Structure formats: structure tokens, C-alpha cells
Structure 1
Amino acid sequence: MAADDRLTGPEDELAWRLREAHRHVRSLPVPAKERERLARRLLTICDLSKRDVEHAAARLDLFLLSIDVRVSDTPSTGNIAEGD
């Protein structure tokens, strides 16, 4: 039985998402100082999750979105094929 098999409630779902976010931050192709800053922000969200699961989940969504925007260097128009 894998550890993820026991995750069923909203708190457990948030815990799983936080763990995945930590893995994502560790693998980002950014300078070490930037990665450290992002990890501290993520730890703040983890601390918040102890008191307010819904608010922490919303903050995690925004955090992940900000990482995607920051790391993505592909202009949105570059994804459209010629003639479309």
C-alpha cells in the first residue's frame, strides 16, 4: 500500500499538493537564491495550512501559477502554428 492510498480528505489533498509543490520548487531551473525565496514562500503556505486549509489551498494555487508564469519563457503567440 502506497502512502498516497490513504489520502482522501481535503487536508490530505492539500498535503499531497504541497509535497508536489516542494518537489517542483527543488527542480526549478532558477538561481539558488530564487529557489530559496520560493521555498520560504511555500513554507509560509504550509504553516498557514495548519490553521486554514481553504485559504492555504487558494494561496498554493496562486503560488503555483506565479511559478509557471515566472519560469515560462515561451511567448503565447509562439505556440500558434502558421496559418492558424
Structure 2
Amino acid sequence: MERDSQLELYQAVAVRLKEAHARVRSLQVPEGVRMALSRKLLAITAVAKHDLARAARRLDRLMKDLDEGRFPEGD
């Protein structure tokens, strides 16, 4: 039973990561900001390999920041 819920969470995070990448690509922001967001998404992807629930929480925070127009500083 736990395996099924873990698989569902994995699928949900994968779909949301794909949507997040598409959203970041479509943003009208300076390239440095886009790169910083892409690095955050890559970090979330790496975390998902070891701690799926933590990755989901980090992705939630990132998407909330995007929704509210809070972007990281670009290089």
C-alpha cells in the first residue's frame, strides 16, 4: 500500500516538475533570473531522487514564489 502512495507522489512530482520547467521557460525575465530558477528546479529534481516528500514541499514553495512574482536574483 505504501508503495502505491509513493508511486502516486512520484508521478505527481514528475508532472509538476515538467509544468514548472515549462513555466520558467516562458517567463519574461532576464536570463540570469531564468538560470537561477533552472538551478532551483535541478536541485529539486536531485532531492526527489532521495526524499520525494521534501522535493514536493520545495516545489510547492518555488511555485508559490512564481505565483507571487518573487524571483531569485540573477547573476
Q: TM-score, normalised by structure 1?
A: 0.71
**Which residue of 1 is the match for residue 34 of structure 2?**
35
Structure index of larger Rg? 1
1:3-82 equivalences in 2 (<5 Å)? 9-70=8-69
- Structure 1, unmatched stretches of 5+, are 1-7, 72-84
What is the Cα deviation at residue 15 of structure 1? Answer: 0.5
Would you say how many aligned residue pairs link Structure 1 and Structure 2?
64
Secondary structure of residue in 2 paired with 1:66: helix
Percent identity, please: 41
Greater fraction helix: 2
What is the Cα deviation at residue 24 of structure 1? Answer: 0.4
Separation of aligned partners in 1, 2:68 and 2:30: 16
Q: CA-atom RMSD, angstroms?
A: 1.3
